[in-house]
């Protein structure tokens, strides 16, 4: 009977030890699961930051390209404005030349008329 009690005590002690180990393993599993979940969450957050960084880099590249295009357009506008000023100067110069030619023409016509009148009076 003592042996039976001893065997039962050994079995009870072993069961308690196994239950304690099982509980410890369960806690370890829960801790590792939490750690793994935290790592997965951190990786997801990092992946999102990488995605956002890629988007930001794309936007910065687009902004740089737009700035370069704006500079090209500003340069072309400045050239067009300079050309317009030159054309305006040329038009003003041509208008001035036309006025001089018109004045010269009117003087020639007046002189011609004077000569005709002089010739007519000499004939009479």
Q: What is the reported pTM?
A: 0.53
Cα–Cα dist 53/59, whole Å: 10
From residue 121, how far is each of 49, 118, 124 by CA, in Å? 105, 5, 5
For residue 81, the enclosing domain spans 1-94
Residue 101 lies in a domain: no
Residue 103 lies in a domain: no
- Residue-level pLDDT at 124: 80
pLDDT > 70: what percent of the chain? 100
Residue 116 lies in a domain: no
Residue 15 lies in a domain: yes
From residue 37, how far is each of 44, 50, 51 by CA, in Å? 10, 20, 21
């Amino acid at each position: 009977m003592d042996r039976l009690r001893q065997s039962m005590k050994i079995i009870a002690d072993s069961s308690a030890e196994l239950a304690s180990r099982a509980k410890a393993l369960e806690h370890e599993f829960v801790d590792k699961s939490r750690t793994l979940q935290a790592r997965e969450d951190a990786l997801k957050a990092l992946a999102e930051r990488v995605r956002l960084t890629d988007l930001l880099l794309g936007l910065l590249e687009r902004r740089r390209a737009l700035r370069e295009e704006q500079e090209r357009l500003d340069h072309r506008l400045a050239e067009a404005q300079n050309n317009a000023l030159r054309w305006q100067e040329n038009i003003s110069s041509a208008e001035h030349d036309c006025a001089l030619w018109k004045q010269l023409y009117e003087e020639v016509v007046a002189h011609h008329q004077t000569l005709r009148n002089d010739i007519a009076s000499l004939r009479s």
